[in-house]
Amino acid sequence: MDDRVHPEVRRTATEIDTMETRGAATIADSAARALRTQATESDAADAEAFRAELRAAARALYETRPTAVSLPNALRYVLRGMSSTTVEGLRQNVVESADEFCARLERAQADLGEVGANRLRDGDTIMTHCHSTDALACVEAAVEQGKHIEAVVKETRPRNQGHITARRLDELGVPVTLIVDSAARRYLNDVDHVLVGADAVAADGSVVNKIGTSGLAVNARDRGTPIMVAAQTLKLHPGTMTGHTVDIEMRDTAEVVDDETLAELGNPTVKNPAFDVTPPRYVDAIVTERGQFPPESIVILMRELFGEGTSEPWAEPEARAEP
């Protein structure tokens, strides 16, 4: 890693890489805070050195996990605030942008929760996959509105983020039934909504989320169960407006099976994709802090929010080839 990158930023990058820090919104929040630290601790001699240092830090954070677009969106937001021509001015720019970003993220999640809660009725049961703070914000708001909600929670192999969801729902007073992933179809008849988060939403309305989401959505459509995706606008992927595709992260196979067991099995090939893509036709609504959208119309919101601004997060308009 570039030696201009502050140890705190390195630590954040490692925590994102190892998934000690995980979940698209949480990753974005910690990346923005890391850039803030890089700025406050910088002893760069001049404005150019300061900018280069911040870009190096952004790259180190960006290279951790490829799929959740909230990460480059956060980096872009903070770096775009650098308008000053002095080190002190730039430091101030980054601190303000990072603070503003984190505050907006929190507000967006609360606003999204209110929108999502309106789709849930008193007495409804939801089915969840993985752990999404955006999805849980909808349940939390519904509970605050006095609605009784129950949940069927998929454990979400291989990392079992469903356990985190079960704990959070229990804290909200929501009764939980925990199931293995392969039991989802069996229980779809008992639920009123599938409620999941997103790591990225593409311009055509496709939803990139934890592996297993697309199969769940197809089964839910077959059973007539509505599928609701909670995704604040930070999850909209600007690059997909200009034809880029979303990279699907392949994680270490040790998450699936340990070396000893692998040897006992005769060393088969193991694949461990972290995410999959659910086509828009299987999604009923994308719930954002700006309201709910049918997936096919999300591109209109994306144009409004991003315009043509889809460059790499660390690239400055006049120095795009440099990173």
Ligand X SMILES: O=P(O)(O)OC[C@H]1O[C@H](OP(=O)(O)O)[C@H](O)[C@@H]1O
Determine whether the annotation assigns residue 142 to a binding site.
no
82-85: Cβ within 8 A, 24+ apart: 82/51, 82/54, 84/47, 85/47
Please tell me the count of residues contacting ligand X according to CB under 6 A.
17
Determine whether the annotation assigns residue 235 to a binding site.
yes
Of 135, 205, 223, 226, nearest to 172 by C-alpha is 135
Interaction of residue 72 with ligand X, rule CB under 6 A: no
Interaction of residue 197 with ligand X, rule CB under 6 A: yes
Interaction of residue 132 with ligand X, rule CB under 6 A: yes
Interaction of residue 210 with ligand X, rule CB under 6 A: yes
Q: How far is the CB of 38 from ligand X (least distance, A)?
A: 23
Among positive and negative, which fits the CA dihedral 98, 103, 104, 108? positive
Which listed residue (124, 130, 134, 138) is catalytic? 130
Q: Is 258 a catalytic residue?
A: no
With CB under 6 A as the contact rule, which of the stretches 42-50, 116-124, 195-203, 307-315 interacts with ligand X?
Answer: 195-203
Nearer to ligand X, 133 or 240 (CB): 133
Of 242, 255, 311, nearest to 76 by C-alpha is 311
- 38 neighbors 57 (Cβ within 8 angstroms): yes
Determine whether the annotation assigns residue 76 to a binding site.
no
- 114 neighbors 5 (Cβ within 8 angstroms): no
Interaction of residue 130 with ligand X, rule CB under 6 A: yes
Q: How far is the CB of 31 from ligand X (least distance, A)?
A: 13
Footprint of ligand X on 141-180 (CB under 6 A):
161
Q: How far is the CB of 275 from ligand X (least distance, A)?
A: 7
Among 124, 155, 199, 284, binds ligand X (CB under 6 A): 199
With CB under 6 A as the contact rule, which of the stretches 34-42, 95-103, 193-201, 311-319 interacts with ligand X?
Answer: 193-201
CB atoms within 10 A of CB 319: 12
Among 5, 24, 153, 195, binds ligand X (CB under 6 A): 24
Interaction of residue 274 with ligand X, rule CB under 6 A: yes
Interaction of residue 22 with ligand X, rule CB under 6 A: yes
Nearer to ligand X, 93 or 225 (CB): 225
Residue 66 is encoded by which pair of tokens?
């490829």
Determine whether the annotation assigns residue 154 to a binding site.
no
For the beta sheet containing 200-201, the strands, ordered from the edge strand earlier in sequence to the opposite edge, are 200-201, 207-210, 275-278
Q: What is the distance between the alpha carbons of residues 209 and 85, in angstroms, rounded to a whole number?
A: 40
Determine whether the annotation assigns residue 219 to a binding site.
no
Q: Is 199 a catalytic residue?
A: yes
Determine whether the annotation assigns residue 23 to a binding site.
yes
Determine whether the annotation assigns residue 274 to a binding site.
no
Determine whether the annotation assigns residue 209 to a binding site.
yes
With CB under 6 A as the contact rule, which of the stretches 34-42, 116-124, 192-200, 306-314 interacts with ligand X?
Answer: 192-200
Q: How far is the CB of 193 from ligand X (least distance, A)?
A: 15
Distance of CA 247 to the CA centre of its chain: 13
Which listed residue (29, 124, 134, 199) is catalytic? 199
Binding site: which residues?
Answer: 22-25, 65, 209-210, 235
**Binding footprint of ligand X on the chain (CB under 6 A):** 22-26, 130, 132-135, 161, 196-197, 199, 209-210, 274
Could you list the active site residues? 130, 199
